[in-house]
């Protein structure tokens, strides 16, 4: 959700000396703030900041600490506070006081955790809950107080019929998803660029690059973005034909995706308009934009491979490239969950992932049914190599 701001205050909370003099930097943001549609409060006081998540049944702190570095992610737009996070824009309105539940001690028993999970999905998840949701909640709720093991079983039984790869539950170091990842047969290329990026050559002339996720490629945000950019730059510098494989890309950062797109688009591009969903409906639409490199973009042939395993920001990257001359999108429809997923913490320390963005093209096309490829193929890699060979 607001991971970058969380990382700022969490790092400061562990006692780094550099975080102590944050009061001057935090001065423009002093006070209490309520996000529009994201279910988040932010409280800035002196040189400290604290982040709260809330729903209709809960509110508790998820991170607190010194405010040094907070100006990297926060700014003011008139009376509104604006958080820029991994390509998303979240707006906050000033409030006088935090609600009382935010100040009370956190209750982390299984029953409360289950209630928070239910409210979180009901209030933020798109495309909404399924027909049997209310019956499952009523059936499972009485059993969850027994133990965390029973709670986990109930939570997964509750979520599984949503049948989406982006609906996830992180518990005890393990991550469970409500749908199976679409299996992808990757080619036998020579180089594993790094964990999360597969690269090399197919034959002697065609560069191949597969992003298994669009982000979290390094410990630091800047290093992660540099890794993505370096991988693309190396591939396009060594060939005039590229296969960009996004069939197994199911997570990551919008910034990373638009950074990759910048290597191929010829001019500034409004890719889509994204609106977050919350208890009060949809928030204001925010433009997702991509800008080309000032030094020029790749003018060779590109085949983008997609399918049901192309989820999240990889779908927006596909959309950005789809209309570019020399680019052919091949495979099957994408998952229909464009944009970075939302992550919410639960009282017992678990976390739930969900989709909360409505994403439409500038001309109003809803992307919830996925992006349709230029060429349908059951063997997109073979099809790509044929197209690239014909175009050479």
Q: How many CA atoms lie within 13 A of 56 on its CB side?
A: 11
Q: Does residue 33 contact residue 75 with C-beta atoms inside 8 Å? A: no
- Rounded Cα–Cα distance for residues 223 and 227 (Å): 6
Among 371, 264, 231, 225, smallest CA distance to 309 is for 371
What's the predicted TM-score (pTM) here? 0.86
Report how far apart the first and last C-alpha atoms of the chain are (Å, whole number).
43
What are residue 67's DSSP bridge partners?
Answer: none
Domains of the chain: 3-103 (2.40.128), 110-177 (no CATH), 191-350+357-391 (3.90.226.10)
Containing H/E element for 84?
Answer: strand 80-85
Q: Does residue 156 contact residue 169 with C-beta atoms inside 8 Å? A: yes
What are residue 296's DSSP bridge partners?
Answer: none
Among 94, 44, 46, 97, smallest CA distance to 73 is for 44
DSSP state string for 262-285:
TTT-SS-EEEEEEEEEETTEE---
Using omega within 30 degrees of 0 as the cis cutoff, is the peptide bond preceding 311 cis?
no
3-state per-residue secondary structure call for 134-151: HHHHHHHHHHHHHCHHHH
Q: pLDDT value at position 193?
A: 61
Name the phi and psi angles at 162, rounded to 5: -65, -25
Q: Does residue 143 contact residue 131 with C-beta atoms inside 8 Å? A: no
Q: Which pLDDT tens digits describe the chain residue by residue (392 residues)?
A: 455 455 444 333 333 333 445 578 888 999 999 999 999 999 999 889 999 999 999 999 999 988 888 888 899 999 999 988 766 788 999 999 999 889 888 889 999 999 999 999 999 999 899 999 999 999 999 999 888 999 999 999 999 999 998 899 999 888 999 998 888 888 887 655 667 888 888 877 899 999 987 777 766 777 888 888 888 998 899 899 999 999 999 878 888 899 999 999 999 999 999 999 998 899 888 899 999 999 889 999 999 999 999 999 999 999 999 989 999 999 999 998 888 889 999 999 999 999 999 999 998 899 988 999 999 999 999 999 999 887 65
- Rounded Cα–Cα distance for residues 169 and 148 (Å): 13
DSSP state for residue 247 in the 8-state scheme: T
- Rounded Cα–Cα distance for residues 137 and 344 (Å): 19
Query: Could you tell me the two tokens for 101?
Result: 């539940």
Among 307, 318, 326, 281, smallest CA distance to 377 is for 307
Q: Does residue 199 contact residue 231 with C-beta atoms inside 8 Å? A: yes
Q: Does residue 384 contact residue 305 with C-beta atoms inside 8 Å? A: yes
- Strand-strand pairing, 241-245 and 301-306: parallel
Could you give the strand order of the β-sheet that contains 351-354, starting from the edge strand earlier in sequence?
174-177, 168-171, 351-354, 342-345
């Amino acid at each position: 959700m607001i991971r970058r701001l969380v990382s700022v205050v969490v790092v400061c909370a562990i006692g780094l000396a550099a975080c102590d003099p944050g009061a001057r930097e935090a001065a423009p943001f002093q006070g209490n703030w309520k996000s529009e549609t994201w279910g988040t409060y932010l409280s800035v006081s002196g040189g400290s900041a604290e982040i709260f998540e809330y729903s209709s049944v809960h509110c508790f702190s998820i991170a607190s600490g010194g405010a040094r570095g907070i100006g990297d992610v926060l700014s003011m737009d008139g009376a509104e506070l604006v958080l820029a996070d991994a390509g998303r824009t979240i707006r906050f309105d000033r409030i006088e006081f935090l609600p009382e539940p935010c100040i009370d001690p956190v209750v982390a028993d299984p029953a409360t955790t289950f209630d928070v999970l239910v409210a979180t999905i009901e209030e933020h998840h798109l495309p909404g809950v399924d027909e049997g949701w209310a019956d499952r909640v009523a059936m499972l709720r009485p059993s969850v107080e027994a133990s965390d093991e029973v709670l986990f079983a109930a939570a997964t039984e509750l979520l599984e019929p949503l049948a989406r790869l982006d609906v996830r539950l992180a518990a005890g170091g393990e991550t469970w998803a409500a749908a199976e990842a679409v299996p992808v047969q990757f080619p036998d290329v020579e180089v594993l660029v790094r964990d999360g990026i597969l690269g090399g050559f197919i034959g002697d002339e065609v560069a191949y690059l597969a992003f298994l996720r669009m982000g979290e490629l390094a410990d630091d945000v800047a290093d992660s973005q540099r890794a993505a950019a370096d991988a693309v730059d190396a591939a396009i510098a060594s060939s005039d034909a590229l296969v960009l494989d996004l069939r197994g890309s199911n997570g990551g950062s919008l910034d990373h995706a638009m950074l990759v797109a910048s290597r191929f688009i010829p001019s500034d591009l409004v890719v889509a308009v994204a609106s977050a969903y919350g208890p009060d409906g949809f928030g204001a639409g925010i433009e997702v934009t991509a800008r080309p490199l000032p030094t020029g973009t790749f003018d060779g042939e590109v085949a983008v491979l997609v399918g049901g395993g192309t989820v999240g920001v990889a779908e927006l990257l596909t959309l950005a490239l789809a209309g570019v001359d020399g680019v052919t999108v091949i495979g099957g429809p994408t998952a229909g969950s464009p944009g970075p997923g939302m992550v919410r913490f639960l009282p017992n320390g678990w976390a739930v992932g969900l989709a909360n963005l409505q994403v439409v093209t500038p001309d109003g096309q809803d992307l919830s049914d996925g992006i349709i490829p230029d060429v349908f193929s059951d063997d997109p890699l073979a099809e790509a190599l044929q197209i690239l060979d014909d175009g050479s």
